[in-house]
């Protein structure tokens, strides 16, 4: 089943011709009307006239998350404020978040991408989809919500948390599919077991749409075998719009709507383009985005591009499972956290010294973060109550700025390791 067969099954040459036309218009417009892109292109000595085929895209400058941050909140916006109909916010690399804005058309293309994706995994009118991604500033909840409504599915907007109630509703309402992080689904399975609920026997759940964090084939197998469901990978980032692209029923890579997003794979060290099948850093150009246009945005996710036609009949290019990132962003329970954000938050607390260690572990299905923090000599006290108070204060500051619960352990001055070379402050012990 296709949502938009004319586009999804368009011959690859036609798709490339369409992408070139869209790129040419985009570059012309941005060079003429967008100060940021105009300056970037001038600095790289490239003019719209230099773009004469799709491959010429490699002449254009890259754009980075840092650019969004530097232009926070709305300096990157390409339309007047009265055309913005929604904001979402995701983590930045320091205390400052990344703000994304959408015009009505931007929301339309986001929903269109999801409608194609959901249809490709057989979700439609007969389904009840439980959306257990966070609603609010995170793009997961509202994104899946509108995509599912578009294909006529019934949405159960549970959001995250309150797992026992989620399981009861899943049973009562005959939920057939769930969208959440893979780790949350495993947690939900554990809670169900404790409640005496067998997902396979006691619910109608048959499909899961899992993403927002890295997961593996073995995790897929574990989920499918323990719950008797089929699990599909969904990918997207807030800068692109939010969750957008999924695998199809074949599950041999994530289909990317080529009319909406153009994907390049580059060598992260040299910036050189790599061919299909070669693993590298993904760079995306959003061909239709209005509020925050995006040319050659370096997402930092590592993957490979596949151009051969899929057995499902779709010609749209596919990317393989995201295997990692080229920067140090951690994903904790689906929330993006940069170590530099933690450092930034700690530096605002006068009693805290400049040494810290971050430990990330996975207990059952849930990620946990432990932060060891050295206290300044003048703030160090052997009164236990003072130290407990200080610890609680640091934990609440971290919660406020990072939006995740971090357990803090205070260390005496000089107690934490010093590094001679590059500091290794993050120990990620999660085994997927
Ligand atoms: O995580 C959007 C999303 C919501 C995707 C729900 C899927 C489902 P951000 O918060 O901006 O947006 O985080 C984007 O998360 O650059 C990847 O590193 C990671 N990521 C997202 N999906 C996957 C996936 C949302 N399927 C960042 N596999 C991205 C691996 C993923 N990593």
CA 421 to centroid of ligand 1, rounded, Å? 32
Rounded Cα gap, residues 41 and 64, in angstroms: 14
Residues with Cβ within 8 Å of residue 172, at least 6 apart in sequence: none
The answer, yes or no, to whether residue 205 has pLDDT greater than 60, is yes
Provide the 8-state DSSP code for 76: T
Q: Which of 264-273, 365-374, 387-396, 414-423 has the lowest mean pLDDT?
A: 414-423
The answer, yes or no, to whether residue 101 has pLDDT greater than 60, is yes
CA 334 to centroid of ligand 1, rounded, Å? 8
Ligand 1 binding pocket includes 247 (Cβ within 6 Å): no
pLDDT of residue 252: 97
Rounded Cα gap, residues 86 and 326, in angstroms: 30
Q: Which of 176-185, 368-377, 416-425 has the lowest mean pLDDT?
A: 416-425
Ligand 1 binding pocket includes 302 (Cβ within 6 Å): no
What's the predicted TM-score (pTM) here?
0.89
More confident position, 134 or 94: 134
State the closest ligand 1 atom to the C-alpha of 138, by its place in the atom list counted from 1.
10
pLDDT of residue 92: 57
What's the mean pLDDT in 63-71?
A: 92
Q: Which of 140-144, 212-216, 276-280, 311-315 has the lowest mean pLDDT?
A: 212-216
Q: Hey, whose CA ends up nearest to atom 25 of ligand 1?
A: 237
pLDDT single digits (tens) 416-430: 988 765 568 899 988
pLDDT single digits (tens) 349-360: 999 987 899 999
Ligand 1 binding pocket includes 322 (Cβ within 6 Å): yes
The answer, yes or no, to whether residue 390 has pLDDT greater than 70, is yes
Distance of CA 216 to CAs 183, 223, 304, Å?
A: 11, 11, 16
Cβ 252 vs Cβ 222: under 8 Å: no
Rounded Cα gap, residues 321 and 214, in angstroms: 8
Distance of CA 371 to CAs 328, 406, 416, Å?
A: 16, 7, 11
What residues form DSSP beta bridges with 320? none
Give the neighbor-by-neighbor strand order of the sheet with 273-274: 273-274, 261-266, 280-286, 294-303, 324-325
In 10 A of CB 274, how many CB atoms?
Answer: 17
Cβ 268 vs Cβ 326: under 8 Å: yes
* Residue corresponding to tokens 């499918």: 224
Q: Can you read off the two tokens belonging to residue 180?
A: 């959440």
Q: Is residue 61 very low, low, confident or very high in pLDDT (cuts 50, 70, 90)?
A: very high
Cβ 261 vs Cβ 109: under 8 Å: no
Ligand 1 binding pocket includes 336 (Cβ within 6 Å): yes
Cβ 135 vs Cβ 145: under 8 Å: yes
State the closest ligand 1 atom to the C-alpha of 209, by its place in the atom list counted from 1.
8
Residues with Cβ within 8 Å of residue 50, at least 6 apart in sequence: 56, 59
CA 243 to centroid of ligand 1, rounded, Å? 7
Cβ 1 vs Cβ 124: under 8 Å: yes
Closest CA to 129 of 40, 207, 218: 207
Ligand 1 binding pocket includes 325 (Cβ within 6 Å): yes
State the closest ligand 1 atom to the C-alpha of 239, by its place in the atom list counted from 1.
11
CA atoms within 13 A on the CB side of 47: 1
Closest CA to 71 of 262, 239, 263: 239
CA 213 to centroid of ligand 1, rounded, Å? 5
Instruction: Tell which one of 144, 234, 235, 334 to mutate to probe ligand 1, the residue whose CB is within 8 A of the most ligand atoms.
Output: 235
pLDDT of residue 95: 57
What's the mean pLDDT in 294-304?
A: 96
pLDDT single digits (tens) 317-347: 999 999 888 888 899 988 888 887 888 889 8
Instruction: State percent of the chain over pLDDT 90.
Output: 79
Cβ 159 vs Cβ 132: under 8 Å: yes
Cβ 346 vs Cβ 402: under 8 Å: no
Phi/psi of residue 19, nearest 5 degrees: -65, -40
Give the neighbor-by-neighbor strand order of the sheet with 318-319: 254-255, 318-319, 305-306
Ligand 1 binding pocket includes 133 (Cβ within 6 Å): yes
Q: Is residue 16 very low, low, confident or very high in pLDDT (cuts 50, 70, 90)?
A: very high
* Residue corresponding to tokens 């578009």: 150
What's the mean pLDDT in 303-323?
A: 95
pLDDT single digits (tens) 104-120: 999 999 999 999 999 99
The answer, yes or no, to whether residue 254 has pLDDT greater than 80, is yes
CA 212 to centroid of ligand 1, rounded, Å? 3
- Mean pLDDT estimate for the chain: 93
Pairing of strands 230-237, 177-180: unpaired
First-to-final CA distance of the chain:
33
State the closest ligand 1 atom to the C-alpha of 133, by its place in the atom list counted from 1.
6
In 10 A of CB 414, how many CB atoms?
Answer: 10
Ligand 1 binding pocket includes 238 (Cβ within 6 Å): yes
Instruction: State percent of the chain over pLDDT 70.
Output: 97
The answer, yes or no, to whether residue 169 has pLDDT greater than 70, is yes
Q: Hey, whose CA ends up nearest to atom 1 of ligand 1?
A: 212
What's the mean pLDDT in 79-98?
A: 84
Q: Can you read off the two tokens belonging to residue 369?
A: 């973060």
């Amino acid at each position: 089943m296709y949502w938009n067969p004319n586009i999804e099954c368009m011959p690859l040459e036609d798709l490339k011709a369409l992408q070139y036309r869209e790129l040419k218009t985009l570059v012309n417009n941005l060079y003429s009307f967008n100060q940021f892109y105009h300056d970037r292109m001038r600095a790289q000595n490239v003019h719209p006239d230099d773009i004469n085929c799709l491959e010429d895209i490699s002449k254009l400058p890259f754009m980075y998350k840092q650019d969004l941050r530097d232009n926070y909140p709305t300096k990157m916006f390409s339309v007047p404020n009265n055309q913005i109909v929604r904001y979402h916010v995701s983590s930045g690399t320091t205390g400052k978040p990344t703000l994304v804005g959408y015009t009505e058309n931007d929301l339309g293309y986001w929903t269109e991408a999801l409608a194609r994706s959901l249809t490709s995994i057989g979700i439609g009118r007969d389904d009840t989809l439980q959306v257990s991604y966070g609603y609010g500033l995170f793009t997961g909840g509202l994104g899946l919500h509108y995509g599912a409504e578009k294909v006529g599915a019934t949405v159960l907007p549970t959001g995250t948390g309150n797992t026992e109630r989620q399981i009861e509703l899943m049973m009562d309402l005959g939920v057939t599919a769930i969208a959440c992080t893979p780790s949350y689904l495993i947690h939900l399975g554990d809670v169900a077991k404790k409640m005496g609920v067998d997902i396979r026997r006691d619910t109608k759940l048959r499909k899961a749409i899992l993403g927002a964090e890295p997961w593996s084939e073995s995790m897929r197998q574990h989920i499918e075998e323990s719950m008797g469901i089929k699990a599909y990978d969904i990918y997207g980032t807030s800068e692109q719009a939010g969750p957008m692209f999924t695998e199809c029923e074949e599950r041999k890579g994530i289909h990317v709507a080529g009319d909406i997003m153009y994907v390049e794979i580059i060598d992260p060290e040299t910036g050189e383009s790599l061919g299909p099948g070669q693993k590298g850093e993904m760079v995306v150009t959003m061909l239709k985005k209005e509020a925050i246009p995006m040319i050659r945005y370096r997402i930092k996710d590592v993957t490979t591009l596949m151009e051969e036609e899929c057995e499902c009949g779709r010609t749209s290019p596919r990317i393989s499972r995201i295997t990692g990132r080229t920067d140090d962003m951690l994903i904790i329970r689906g929330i993006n956290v940069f170590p530099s954000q933690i450092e930034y938050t700690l530096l605002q607390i006068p009693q805290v010294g400049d040494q810290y260690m971050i430990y990330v572990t996975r207990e059952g299905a849930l990620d946990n973060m432990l932060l060891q923090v050295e206290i300044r000599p003048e703030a160090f006290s052997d009164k236990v109550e003072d130290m407990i108070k200080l610890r609680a204060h640091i934990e609440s500051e971290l919660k406020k700025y990072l939006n995740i619960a971090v357990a803090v352990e205070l260390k005496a001055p000089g107690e934490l390791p010093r590094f001679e070379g590059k500091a290794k402050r993050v120990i990620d012990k999660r085994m997927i």
